[in-house]
C-alpha cells in the first residue's frame, strides 16, 4: 500500500447541487508515518438492532446443545454462511414488558422498561439502548442514528389493551417522552442518508428531478479520482456502483408503481411490491450508510406487532398475527416457523453482504454488532421469556458460532449493557440489568 504524505480526511464528502455523499474508508485516509499504515485503520464501532414481532416457534428456533453450534435449527439454517459471527442466546427475559401485550413487547425491546398505560399523548417509556449509544458513538457522524421500518402505515390512538399506538409504532426513544419515528419509504430514507435533508414535502419534490445523486456529484468524483491510487479508485468505483444500484432499484420500483393502472392506496410510489425486495433494499441502505460513515447506530423494525401481513412468496397465506395464536396446532406452528425462517433469511442476506464488504483489515461485519430478536417469547401465551435472540458481528470482540444457554431467565437488559460496552459506551447499569453477559464480554470458549 502506498501512503501519501498528506492523508485524505476521513470525513471527506462529495458535494453537488442538493446532495452530499460520504466515502468509504480508503487507504488515502490513513495518516502516513504511523502504525496505521500497517493496520489500515482503527475501525469505527457500529451498533444495530433488528426487531421481529410476535416471538417465534421456539421448538424450531433454538439449536441443540450448549457452547459450539454443530447444527443450526430449522429456522436459523440460513445463517450458516456467517455462523462464525453469530451467537444465539436462550432464556432472555423482559420482565418489564408484562402484562404481556404487543405494545409492551415492542416498547420494552430496546428500553427494558415498563410502558405507561395510557391511550392518550401522556405516554412515557425510557431512553432506549440505541439512543444511549447514539449520544456517544453517533456524535461524529452526520446522523447520530437512523430508524427504519417496513410498514408504511402509522396508526394513532390506542392499539392494544389500552396502550397508545406510539408504543407499537416506535422502537427508538431519545427520552422517556420522545419516540423517534421510523422511515419505511426507501427513497426518503435514501435521501435522508445521502441528501441535504429538508422537509418530507421537499424530499418528495426531489423525485421530479431525473438526475441521480451521483450525477450531481460527478465533478467532485472526477477531481477526487486524480488524487487516489489504483486500489482506492477501485474501492470508490465499487462503492459508487452500490449506490447506483440502490438508486436503480428505487427508480424501478417507482416506475412500476407509476405504470400500474390499478389504484393502490396502501403502497406509495417507490416501494417495491415484494416484501423481500423491500426488506433487502432497506438492508442495503444500512450497508451504504455504514460504508460512508453517515451513521453508526441503526434500528430496523422488520414488521409491526399485530401485523396481519401474509407471505405468499413462501406459501403462507395466513395473516401473521392470527397464525401466532396457534394453540399448539402442529400445522399452524409449522407455518409460523416458515415465517420466522423467512425473516431470518433476510437478516442472513444482510450479514453476508456486510461480511463481503471490506473495510480496513476486516469487513463491515467485523466492525459492527447487531442484535436480532423480539420482545415476545411464545406468542400464543404473550409471554416475555426465552425471547428469540441473536447477536451477530464483532469479530475480535467475542467469538461467534455458539449458543449461550441459561438455566434461569436472564434480563435482556444484561445483553444491552454488554453490547453497549463492546462498542465503547461505558455505563454501570441499564434498566433492570444485573451485570454483563460474560460469555460475550470475553471470547466465547468453544
Give the end of a domain, one of 270, 289, 319.
270
Calpha distance 106→102 (Å, rounded): 6
Q: Is there a single domain that holds both residue 296 and residue 343?
A: yes
Q: Is there a single domain that holds both residue 61 and residue 114?
A: yes
Calpha distance 69→87 (Å, rounded): 9
Condensed to tens digits (0 to 9), the pLDDT of residues 9-65 reads: 655 666 554 556 666 767 667 654 333 332 444 678 999 999 999 999 999 999 988
Top-confidence residue, 61 or 153: 61
Residue 197 above 50 pLDDT?
Answer: no
Q: Is there a single domain that holds both residue 229 and residue 312?
A: no
| Average of per-residue pLDDT values in the chain | 84
Q: Is residue 446 part of a domain?
A: no
The pLDDT of residue 265 is 37
Q: Is residue 169 part of a domain?
A: yes
Q: Give the total number of structural domains in the chain.
A: 2
Top-confidence residue, 334 or 205: 334
Calpha distance 405→323 (Å, rounded): 27
Residues 327, 328, 330, 332: is their CA dihedral positive or negative? positive
Provide the domain limits for residue 245: 1-42+190-270
Q: Is there a single domain that holds both residue 131 and residue 86?
A: yes
Residue 313 above 80 pLDDT?
Answer: yes
- What is the percent of the chain with per-residue pLDDT over 70, rounded to a whole number? 77
Q: Is there a single domain that holds both residue 286 and residue 337?
A: yes
The pLDDT of residue 201 is 56
- At residue 204 the predicted structure's pLDDT band, cuts being 50, 70 and 90, is low
Q: Is there a single domain that holds both residue 434 and residue 366?
A: yes
Q: Is there a single domain that holds both residue 165 and residue 233?
A: no
Give the end of a domain, one of 211, 242, 270.
270
pTM: 0.82
Q: Is there a single domain that holds both residue 26 and residue 121?
A: no
Calpha distance 246→285 (Å, rounded): 8
CB 422 within 8 A of CB 394: yes
Q: Is there a single domain that holds both residue 299 and residue 330?
A: yes
Three cell numbers, residue 341: 425462517
Three cell numbers, residue 264: 393502490
Amino acid at each position: 500500500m502506498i501512503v501519501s504524505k498528506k492523508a485524505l480526511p476521513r470525513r471527506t464528502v462529495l458535494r453537488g447541487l442538493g446532495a452530499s455523499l460520504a466515502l468509504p474508508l480508503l487507504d488515502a485516509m490513513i495518516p502516513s508515518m504511523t502504525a496505521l499504515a500497517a493496520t489500515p485503520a482503527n475501525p469505527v464501532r457500529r451498533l444495530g438492532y433488528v426487531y421481529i414481532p410476535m416471538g417465534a416457534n421456539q421448538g424450531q428456533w433454538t439449536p441443540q446443545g450448549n457452547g459450539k453450534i454443530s447444527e443450526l435449527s430449522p429456522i436459523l439454517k440460513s445463517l450458516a454462511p456467517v455462523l462464525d459471527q453469530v451467537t444465539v442466546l436462550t432464556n432472555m427475559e423482559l420482565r418489564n414488558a408484562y402484562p404481556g401485550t404487543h405494545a409492551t413487547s415492542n416498547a420494552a425491546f430496546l428500553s427494558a422498561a415498563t410502558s405507561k398505560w395510557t391511550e392518550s399523548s401522556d405516554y412515557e417509556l425510557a431512553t432506549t439502548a440505541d439512543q444511549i449509544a447514539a449520544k456517544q458513538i453517533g456524535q461524529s457522524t452526520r446522523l447520530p442514528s437512523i430508524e427504519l421500518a417496513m410498514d408504511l402505515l402509522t396508526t394513532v390512538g390506542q392499539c392494544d389493551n389500552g396502550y397508545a399506538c406510539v408504543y407499537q409504532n416506535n422502537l427508538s426513544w431519545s427520552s422517556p417522552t420522545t419516540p423517534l419515528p421510523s422511515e419505511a419509504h426507501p427513497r426518503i430514507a435514501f435521501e435522508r442518508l445521502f441528501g441535504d435533508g429538508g422537509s418530507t414535502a421537499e424530499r418528495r419534490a426531489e423525485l421530479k428531478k431525473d438526475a441521480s445523486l451521483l450525477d450531481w456529484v460527478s465533478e467532485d468524483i472526477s477531481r477526487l479520482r486524480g488524487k487516489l491510487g489504483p486500489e482506492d479508485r477501485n474501492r470508490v468505483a465499487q462503492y459508487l456502483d452500490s449506490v447506483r444500484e440502490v438508486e436503480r432499484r428505487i427508480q424501478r420500483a417507482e416506475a412500476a408503481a407509476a405504470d400500474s393502472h390499478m389504484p393502490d392506496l396502501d403502497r406509495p410510489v417507490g416501494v417495491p411490491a415484494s416484501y423481500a425486495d423491500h426488506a433487502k433494499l432497506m438492508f442495503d441502505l444500512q450497508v451504504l450508510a455504514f460504508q460512508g460513515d453517515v451513521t453508526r447506530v441503526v434500528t430496523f423494525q422488520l414488521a409491526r406487532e399485530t401485523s396481519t401481513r401474509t407471505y405468499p412468496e413462501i406459501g403462507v397465506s395466513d395473516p401473521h398475527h392470527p397464525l401466532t395464536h396457534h394453540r399448539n396446532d402442529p400445522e399452524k406452528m409449522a407455518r409460523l416457523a416458515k415465517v420466522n425462517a423467512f425473516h431470518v433469511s433476510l437478516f442472513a442476506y444482510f450479514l453476508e453482504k456486510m461480511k463481503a464488504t471490506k473495510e480496513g483489515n476486516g469487513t463491515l461485519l467485523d466492525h459492527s454488532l447487531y442484535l436480532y430478536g423480539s420482545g415476545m417469547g411464545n406468542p400464543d401465551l404473550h409471554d416475555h421469556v426465552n425471547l428469540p435472540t441473536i447477536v451477530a458481528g464483532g469479530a475480535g470482540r467475542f467469538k461467534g458460532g455458539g449458543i449461550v444457554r441459561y438455566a434461569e431467565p436472564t434480563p435482556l437488559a444484561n445483553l444491552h449493557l454488554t453490547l453497549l460496552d463492546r462498542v465503547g459506551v461505558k455505563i454501570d447499569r441499564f434498566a433492570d440489568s444485573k451485570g454483563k453477559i460474560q460469555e460475550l464480554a470475553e471470547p466465547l470458549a468453544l
